[in-house]
């Protein structure tokens, strides 16, 4: 069947989608979610179809195409294309197999990952794969195969250095900007640490969002390698690189479901680490009511799984189970967190001591992994001497930024303070509400928006004392954040 292209100016965000008029679809006995091959000038692409019930958007004789199809086949409006019926991806049979609770082999997992990377699965089909792995947890061997498949279908950073250090927190705590302190300390100590970081998904800021306050974080892998070889480290946005690209597509369907399939969590983290040639990896599992892992039993079970996968990938891996009951640091939101980091590296009295303590502990663990004793003392010496700050400055400049004083970082111009209604001790901080209020205030899109905390758990509180300040760049968002802060118990004082 020959049809003429109609660009309907919609993007799916991944899968290749085309829309047929119901009469054209009926002529080929095609239904919603069936597939067609689209041919143009020797190029062929397979797309999932939707069906237009009226001729308003896609008249008979036309083929509505999403932006991904336009880009792949280099199409223009009214181009003539040839379409034919296509078979469904092989991986659908394997996804059904996993839904039935059976184990997948190497060939089957490879096919699923290939189809994910090449946008052959619709969002619904990919969601079924995520759900299958969530309800029928993958074995260690399956998770290892998934990890290797994710790496093989993406780029890798090859440094030919040893050791190569990496770290990762599974998340769930506001603040916790340890990467921006650990990387310059370890790089100043002479170790290679090519750190890829994420942007925010549901938090007020990801490490990439915060680093972007100080410098550029978007680079191709070749430039990333140049930066690392020049400075020993980097802090770049992983989303700009083609490292384990299947992972980003899986995360995109996990987000609305608010689930983390354990096998995919393990494979996701280890694939990203494996793809940058890491040899020594530190994993942080925060535990608390509002974190991904709610109790220590679950954390230690996950710890064992990380260690198994690490051994099978021939990595040195150390897993920390840490306290996730409250935010780490004082600033929550990109600019406020960046200011905290600079204060810490510059040894300013205003630096967050809880963040410093955690970073020094993490560095001591990394030093121990590479055979260095008294790692805590060595890390503190690097901080106090100013070497860590100078190394961070070198990384910032190598990534295209310039030196910025903490005081020059622009914080949201609108704010309101939340005061304690009574005297007592701070016994509870709702991490979820802290994150939610910071996001309602505009973070991370508005870099200067967020929350600054003055108190932490077990601090003594006076009646009328300031607990935290909310910053915003928009009056409307400030009012929304104020309403939520007033209606909910963010801090509990007894």
Whether residues 367 and 433 share a domain: the answer is: no
- On whether residue 141 sits in a domain, the answer given is no
- On whether residue 15 sits in a domain, the answer given is yes
pLDDT given for residue 275 in this prediction = 94
**CA dist., res. 376 & res. 292, Å (int):** 28
Instruction: Give the CATH number of the domain where residue 33 resides.
Output: 2.40.40.20
- Measure Cα distances from 348 to 160, 394, 407 in Å: 37, 20, 11
> Per residue in 109-129, is it b (16+ CB within 10 Å) or e — as a string?
bbbbbbbbbbbbbbbebbbbb
Burial degree of 48 (CB within 10 A; 0-12, 13-18, 19+):
buried
Whether residues 262 and 355 share a domain: the answer is: yes
Q: Which of 159, 236, 155, 164 is nearest to 193 (CA)?
A: 164
Whether residues 66 and 106 share a domain: the answer is: no
Give the count of domains, the chain: 4
165 DSSP β-pair partners:
280
Whether residues 327 and 373 share a domain: the answer is: yes
pLDDT given for residue 258 in this prediction = 66
Whether residues 27 and 97 share a domain: the answer is: no
Whether residues 107 and 81 share a domain: the answer is: no
**CA dist., res. 47 & res. 240, Å (int):** 25
| Residue 260 known to be catalytic | yes
- On whether residue 157 sits in a domain, the answer given is no
pLDDT given for residue 280 in this prediction = 97
Whether residues 45 and 63 share a domain: the answer is: yes
Instruction: Give the CATH number of the domain where residue 104 resides.
Output: 1.20.970.10
The neighbour count for residue 421, using CB atoms within 10 Å, is 12
- On whether residue 154 sits in a domain, the answer given is no
Q: Among residues 86, 102, 120, which one ends one of the domains?
A: 86
Q: Which of 5, 27, 315 is nearest to 147 (CA)?
A: 315
Q: Would you list the DSSP string of 2-46?
A: EEEEEE-----SSS-EEEEEHHHHHHTT--TT-EEEEEETTEEEE
62 DSSP β-pair partners:
4
Q: Among residues 22, 57, 86, which one ends one of the domains?
A: 86
Specify whether the CB–CB gap between 157 and 225 falls below 8 A: yes
- On whether residue 327 sits in a domain, the answer given is yes
The answer to whether the Cα torsion of 473, 478, 480, 486 is positive or negative is positive
The tens place of each residue's pLDDT in the chain, 494 residues long, gives 999 999 999 998 888 999 999 999 999 999 999 999 999 999 999 999 999 988 888 999 999 999 999 999 999 999 999 999 998 899 999 999 999 999 999 999 999 999 999 888 888 899 999 999 999 999 999 999 999 999 999 999 999 999 999 999 988 899 999 999 999 999 999 999 999 998 887 789 999 999 999 999 999 999 999 999 999 999 999 888 888 888 888 887 777 776 777 888 899 899 999 999 999 999 999 998 878 888 999 999 999 999 999 999 999 999 999 999 999 999 999 999 999 999 999 999 999 999 999 999 999 999 999 999 999 999 999 999 999 999 999 999 999 999 999 999 999 999 999 999 999 999 999 999 999 999 999 999 999 999 999 999 999 999 999 999 999 999 999 999 999 998 889 999 99
Q: Would you list the DSSP string of 343-359?
A: HHHTT-TTS-HHHHHHH
Q: β-pairing, 466-472 with 450-453?
A: antiparallel
Whether residues 277 and 335 share a domain: the answer is: yes
Instruction: Give the CATH number of the domain where residue 419 resides.
Output: 3.90.1170.30
Whether residues 343 and 280 share a domain: the answer is: yes
pLDDT given for residue 405 in this prediction = 97
**CA dist., res. 397 & res. 403, Å (int):** 8
Whether residues 382 and 418 share a domain: the answer is: no
Element (H, E) at 248: helix 245-257
235 DSSP β-pair partners:
195
The neighbour count for residue 11, using CB atoms within 10 Å, is 11
Instruction: Give the CATH number of the domain where residue 205 resides.
Output: 3.40.1030.10
Q: Which of 173, 444, 180, 445 is nearest to 333 (CA)?
A: 444
| Residues 6+ away with beta carbon under 8 Å from 443 | 200, 204, 205, 332, 333, 334, 449, 450
pLDDT given for residue 291 in this prediction = 83
- On whether residue 153 sits in a domain, the answer given is no
Whether residues 205 and 257 share a domain: the answer is: yes
Q: Among residues 45, 66, 86, which one ends one of the domains?
A: 86
**CA dist., res. 277 & res. 329, Å (int):** 30
> Per residue in 236-263, is it b (16+ CB within 10 Å) or e — as a string?
bbbbbbbbbbbbbbbbbbbeeeebbbbb
**CA dist., res. 76 & res. 377, Å (int):** 63
List the domain range (segments joined by +) for residue 418: 411-493
- On whether residue 151 sits in a domain, the answer given is no
- On whether residue 152 sits in a domain, the answer given is no
Whether residues 228 and 328 share a domain: the answer is: yes
Element (H, E) at 266: helix 262-275
Burial degree of 390 (CB within 10 A; 0-12, 13-18, 19+):
middle
Based on C-alpha coordinates, what's the Rg of the chain? Answer: 25
Q: Which of 79, 166, 247, 260 is catalytic?
A: 260
Specify whether the CB–CB gap between 42 and 102 falls below 8 A: no
């Amino acid at each position: 069947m020959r049809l003429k292209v109609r660009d309907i100016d919609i993007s799916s965000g991944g899968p290749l989608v085309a829309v047929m008029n119901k009469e054209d679809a009926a002529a080929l006995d095609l239904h919603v979610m069936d597939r067609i091959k689209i041919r143009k000038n020797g190029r062929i692409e397979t797309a999932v179809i939707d069906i237009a019930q009226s001729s308003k958007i896609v008249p008979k004789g036309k083929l509505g195409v999403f932006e991904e199809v336009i880009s792949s086949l280099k199409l223009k409006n009214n181009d003539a294309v040839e379409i034919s019926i296509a078979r469904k991806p092989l991986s659908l049979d394997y996804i059904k197999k996993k839904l039935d609770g059976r184990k997948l082999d190497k060939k089957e997992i490879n096919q699923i990952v290939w189809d994910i990377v090449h946008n052959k699965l619709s969002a619904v089909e990919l969601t079924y794969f995520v759900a299958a792995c969530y309800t029928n947890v993958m074995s260690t061997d399956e998770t290892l195969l998934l990890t290797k498949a994710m790496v093989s279908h993406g780029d890798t950073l090859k440094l030919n250095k040893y050791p190569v250090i990496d770290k990762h927190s599974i998340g769930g705590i506001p603040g916790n900007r340890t990467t921006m302190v650990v990387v310059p300390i370890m790089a100043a100590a002479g170790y290679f640490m090519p750190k890829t970081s994420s942007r925010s998904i549901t938090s007020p800021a990801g490490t990439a969002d915060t680093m972007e306050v100080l410098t550029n974080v978007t680079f191709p892998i070749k430039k990333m390698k140049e930066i690392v070889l020049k400075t020993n480290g980097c802090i770049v946005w992983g989303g700009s690189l083609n490292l384990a690209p299947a992972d980003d597509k899986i995360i995109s369907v996990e987000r609305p479901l608010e689930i983390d399939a354990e096998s995919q969590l393990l494979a996701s983290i280890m694939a990203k680490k494996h793809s940058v040639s890491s040899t020594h990896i530190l994993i942080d599992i925060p535990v608390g009511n509002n974190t991904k892992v709610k109790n220590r039993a679950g954390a230690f079970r996950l710890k064992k799984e990380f260690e198994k996968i690490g051994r099978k990938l021939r990595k040195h891996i150390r897993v920390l189970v840490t306290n996730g009951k409250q935010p780490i640091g004082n600033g929550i939101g990109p600019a406020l967190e960046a200011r905290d980091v600079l204060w810490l590296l510059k040894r300013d009295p205003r630096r967050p001591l809880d963040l410093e303590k955690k970073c020094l502990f993490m560095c001591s663990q990394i030093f121990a992994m590479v055979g260095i004793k008294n790692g805590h003392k060595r890390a503190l010496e690097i901080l106090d001497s100013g070497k860590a700050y100078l190394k961070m400055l070198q990384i910032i400049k190598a990534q295209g930024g310039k030196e910025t004083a903490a005081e020059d970082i622009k914080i949201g111009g609108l704010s309101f303070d939340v005061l304690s209604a009574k005297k007592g001790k701070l016994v509870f901080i709702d991490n979820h509400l802290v994150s939610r209020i910071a996001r309602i205030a505009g973070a991370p899109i508005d870099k200067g928006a967020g929350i600054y905390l003055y108190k932490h758990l077990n601090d003594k509180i006076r009646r009328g004392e300031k607990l935290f300040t909310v910053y915003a760049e928009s009056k409307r968002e400030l009012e929304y954040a104020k309403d939520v802060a007033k209606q909910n118990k963010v801090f509990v004082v007894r």
